Amino acid sequence: MNNTAIEICTLIIENHECGGRADQTILEVAEENGIFIPTLCRLSGLSNIGACRMCLVEVKGMNKLMPACVTKVQEGMVVTVNNERLAEHRRLALEMLFSERNHICSVCVTNGHCDLQFLAQKLGVNHITMPYIHPLMPVDASHPRFLADHNRCILCTRCVRVCQEVEGAHTWDIMGRGTKARVITDLNRPWGESESCTGCGKCVQVCPTGALSEKGQAAGEMLKRRTFLPYLSMMREVGK
């Protein structure tokens, strides 16, 4: 296929007449036009997988909801971004994520910098209407510089994608099905023992929550190094 000339489409997003190239997604065109569509698994620069379902929109004439991050614009499209039904779906999707694992914001290293936390606030999720599942999740602290806390993971696979698509290491992948699915390093070996991990830290930077973090950030790790004050012991001697 040789598409040297790219078609320009006119479409309506949330009552705004917008123009976009035919190879652009609804999300891209919406963002260019200042229309907010919530996203979670998507990160500009990585491939789009349409997994978190936050960006679902209604497209006139289609009986299914379409993920804006992967749906290409078409001439004459009429897109609804916000209505009661979509708001309910997004709220429930966020609540599902909070209920699935143990997101205790108050004691999370990413408290205050978390995409999940912010999105909940932005979309008015001020409590979780479904029971928390409270699974017992592991924490992998084997890497000298980084920490993987599966309690906070929302399985967005940004880490998997950045590692494969940008760093080219493919250290991260997914293991297991359903709520038992987990991100793993090197065929489920401890991160610290990974032979493919280059230690670049890209996964930590793209992680939307506190699942992947740099060590030394948590309150308990902010240790004082008092050994550089040898005179403390000298003074104790003097005081005797």
Partner 1 sequence: MTKVKPTKARVATVWLDGCSGCHMSLLDMDEKLILLGEKIELVYSPLVDAKDFPENVDVALVEGSISSEEDLHKIKLIRRNTKVLVALGDCSVTGNIPSMRTVFPLAKVMERVYDENATINKQVPTKVVPRLLERVMPLHEVVKVDVYLPGCPPSADNIFFAVSELLEGRVPEMTSTARFGA
Partner 2 sequence: MNQDDLTSIAAQTKQSENRYDHVIKVCVAAGCLSANSEQVKTQLESELKQRGLETCCKVKGVGCMGLCAAGPLVSADANELMFQGVTPADASAVIDSVVDKKPAPAAIVMDSQLDFFTGQKKIVLENSGEIDPERVEDYIAADGYEALFHCITKLKPLGVIEQVTKSGLRGRGGAGFPTGLKWTTVAKAQGARKYVICNADEGDPGAFMDRSVLESDPHRVLEGMAIAAYAVGASKGFIYCRAEYPLAVKRLRIAIRQAENNGLLGMNIGDTHFDFKIEVRLGAGAFVCGEETALIASIEGGRGTPRPRPPFPAQEGLWKSPTLINNVETFANIPPIIRRGGDWFASIGTDKSKGTKVFALAGRVNNTGLIEVPMGITLREIIFKLGGGIPEGRRFKAVQSGGPSGGCVPEQYLDIPVDYDSLASVGSIMGSGGMIVMDETSCMVDVAKFFMDFCMSESCGKCVPCRVGTTQMHNILERITQGEAGPQDLDLLTRLTSMVKAASLCGLGQTAPNPTLTTLRYFMDEYRAHIEEGRCPAGICHPAKVEAEVGA
Enumerate binding residues for partner 1 (CB under 8 A).
Answer: 98, 102-108, 111-112, 114, 117-118, 120-122, 124, 126-129, 131-132, 134-137
Which of 177, 224, 225, 240 binds partner 2 (CB under 8 A)? It is 177
The least distance separating partner 1 from the CB of residue 111, rounded to whole angstroms, comes to 4
Task: Kindly write out the interface string for residues 52-71 of this chain, putting x where it contacts partner 2 by CB under 8 A and - elsewhere.
Answer: xx--x-------xx-x--xx
Which of 14, 31, 49, 190 binds partner 2 (CB under 8 A)? It is 49
Residue 159 in contact with partner 2, rule: CB under 8 A? no
Residue 129 in contact with partner 2, rule: CB under 8 A? yes
The least distance separating partner 2 from the CB of residue 131, rounded to whole angstroms, comes to 7
Residue 51 in contact with partner 2, rule: CB under 8 A? yes
Nearest to partner 2 of 58, 149 (CB atom): 58
Residue 137 in contact with partner 2, rule: CB under 8 A? no
HEC string for the chain: CCCCCCCEEEEEECCEEEEEECCCEHHHHHHHCCCCCCCCCCCCCCCCCCCCCCCEEEECCCCCCEECCCCECCCCCEEECCCHHHHHHHHHHHHHHHHHCCCCHHHCCCCCCCHHHHHHHHCCCCCCCCCCCCCCCCEECCCCCEEEEHHHCCCCCHHHHHHHHHHCCCCEEEECCHHHCEEEECCCCCHHHCCCCCCCCHHHHHCCCCCEEECCCCHHHCCCCHHHCCHHHHHHHHHC
Residue 149 in contact with partner 2, rule: CB under 8 A? no
Q: Which does 137 bind (CB under 5 to 8 A by kind): partner 1, partner 2, none?
A: partner 1
According to DSSP, the β-strands at 146-149 and 172-175 are unpaired
Q: Which does 67 bind (CB under 5 to 8 A by kind): partner 2, partner 1, none?
A: partner 2
The least distance separating partner 2 from the CB of residue 113, rounded to whole angstroms, comes to 21
The least distance separating partner 2 from the CB of residue 129, rounded to whole angstroms, comes to 6
- The sign of the CA dihedral 215, 220, 222, 228 is negative
The least distance separating partner 1 from the CB of residue 189, rounded to whole angstroms, comes to 24
CB under 8 Å, gap of 24 or more: what pairs does 165-168 form? Answer: 165/46, 165/47, 166/45, 166/46, 166/202, 167/198, 167/200, 167/202
**Which positions lie near partner 2, rule CB under 8 A?**
1, 49-53, 56, 64-65, 67, 70-72, 85, 88-89, 92-93, 96-97, 99-100, 129-131, 133, 154-155, 173-174, 176-181
